[in-house]
Chains A and B, each alone.
Chain A
Amino acid sequence: MDNSRLDRLALISKIWPWLFLCALLVFFEVWARISDHRSFIFNAYNLQSIGLAASAPLLLAIGQTFVIITAGIDLSVGFVMGLAAVCIAQFTIPGGNAPWVVLLSIPATIVVCLVPGFVNGVLIARLGVPAFIGTLGMYGVARGVGFLAAGSGMTVAVNNAGLAWLGHGWTPVVLTLILLLVMHFILSKTRFGQYTYAIGGNPQSAVRAGINVRRHLVVIYLIAAAFAAVGGIVYTSRFAAGAANAGEPMLLDSIAAVVIGGASLFGGTGNVIGTLIGALIIAVIEFGLVFIDVNAFWQFIVVGIVIIMSVLIDQYKERLGGAQ
Chain B
Amino acid sequence: MSTPILEARDISIRFGGVEALRRVSLHVMPGEVLALAGDNGAGKSTLIKIISGVYHADAGQLLFNGTPMQLRDPQDARAQGIETIYQDLALADNLDVGSNIFLGREPVRRQFGIQVIDRERMAQVAREVLERLDIVIPARKLRGPVKMLSGGQRQAIAIGRAIYWNAHVLIMDEPTAALGVPEQRKVMELIAALKAQGVAVILISHNLHDIFAIADRIVVLRRGEVAGERLVAGTNGDEIVRLMVGDTYADARGPAH
Chain A residues in the interface with B (C-beta under 8 A): 185, 189-191, 194, 197-198, 200-202, 204-211, 268-269, 321, 324
Interface centre among A198, A200, A205, A269 (most CB of B within 10 A): A205
Closest-by-CB residue of A relative to B158 is A205
- Bound together, the chains give a CA A321 to CA B149 distance in angstroms of 10
11 A-B residue pairings within 8 Å (CB atoms): A190-B116, A194-B99, A202-B91, A204-B88, A205-B90, A206-B92, A206-B104, A208-B74, A209-B74, A210-B104, A321-B145
Closest-by-CB residue of B relative to A205 is B90
Closest-by-CB residue of A relative to B92 is A201
Give min CB distance, A126 to chain B, whole Å: 16
- Bound together, the chains give a CA A26 to CA B145 distance in angstroms of 35
Closest-by-CB residue of A relative to B78 is A210
Interface centre among B54, B86, B104, B148 (most CB of A within 10 A): B104
B142-184 toward A: CB 8 Å interface, digit per residue (1/0)? 0011011000000000000000000000000000000000000
- Bound together, the chains give a CA A268 to CA B84 distance in angstroms of 24
Interface status of B69 (Cβ within 8 A of chain A): no
Describe B's contact surface by its main secondary structure.
loop
Closest-by-CB residue of A relative to B91 is A205
Among the stretches B4-12, B36-44, B106-114, B246-254, the one at the interface with A is B106-114
Interface status of B73 (Cβ within 8 A of chain A): yes
On whether the beta carbons of B90 and A209 are closer than 8 Å, the reply is: yes
- Bound together, the chains give a CA A204 to CA B84 distance in angstroms of 13
On whether the beta carbons of B92 and A202 are closer than 8 Å, the reply is: yes
- Bound together, the chains give a CA A194 to CA B99 distance in angstroms of 8
Give min CB distance, A43 to chain B, whole Å: 36
Interface residues of B in 103-139 (CB under 8 A from A): 103-106, 108, 111, 114-117
Interface status of B95 (Cβ within 8 A of chain A): yes
Closest-by-CB residue of B relative to A10 is B144
Chain A residues near B148: list those with CB within 8 A. Answer: 321, 324
Chain B residues near A191: list those with CB within 8 A. Answer: 106, 108, 115, 117
Closest-by-CB residue of A relative to B49 is A208
- Bound together, the chains give a CA A321 to CA B114 distance in angstroms of 34
Give min CB distance, A104 to chain B, whole Å: 28
Closest-by-CB residue of A relative to B88 is A204
Chain B residues in the interface with A (C-beta under 8 A): 52, 54, 73-75, 78, 84, 86, 88-95, 99, 103-106, 108, 111, 114-117, 141, 144-145, 147-148
- Which 6 pairs across A and B sit closest by C-beta, in order of nearness? A209-B104, A210-B75, A268-B94, A201-B94, A201-B92, A205-B90
Partner of A210, one of B73, B94, B108: B73
Closest-by-CB residue of B relative to A191 is B106
Closest-by-CB residue of A relative to B106 is A191
Give min CB distance, A200 to chain B, whole Å: 7
Known: A191-B117, A209-B74, A268-B94. 10 other contacts (CB 8 A): A189-B117, A200-B94, A201-B145, A205-B90, A205-B92, A206-B103, A207-B54, A208-B54, A208-B84, A210-B73
- Bound together, the chains give a CA A200 to CA B78 distance in angstroms of 23
Interface centre among B86, B90, B94, B147 (most CB of A within 10 A): B94
Give min CB distance, B135 to chain A, whole Å: 18
- Bound together, the chains give a CA A202 to CA B147 distance in angstroms of 11
- Bound together, the chains give a CA A204 to CA B117 distance in angstroms of 22
On whether the beta carbons of B147 and A205 are closer than 8 Å, the reply is: no
Chain A residues near B54: list those with CB within 8 A. Answer: 207-208
Give min CB distance, B92 to chain A, whole Å: 4
Partner of A202, one of B75, B90, B106, B116: B90
Chain B residues near A190: list those with CB within 8 A. Answer: 114-117
Known contacts being A189-B111, A190-B116, is A269 close to B94, with CB within 8 Å? yes
Interface centre among A204, A210, A268, A269 (most CB of B within 10 A): A210
Chain B residues near A210: list those with CB within 8 A. Answer: 73-75, 78, 104-105
Chain A residues near B95: list those with CB within 8 A. Answer: 194, 197-198, 201
- Bound together, the chains give a CA A321 to CA B104 distance in angstroms of 26
- Bound together, the chains give a CA A34 to CA B147 distance in angstroms of 49
Closest-by-CB residue of B relative to A211 is B104
Give min CB distance, A9 to chain B, whole Å: 14
Closest-by-CB residue of B relative to A69 is B94
- Bound together, the chains give a CA A185 to CA B84 distance in angstroms of 32
- Bound together, the chains give a CA A211 to CA B75 distance in angstroms of 8
On whether the beta carbons of B116 and A189 are closer than 8 Å, the reply is: yes
Closest-by-CB residue of B relative to A7 is B140
- Bound together, the chains give a CA A205 to CA B106 distance in angstroms of 15
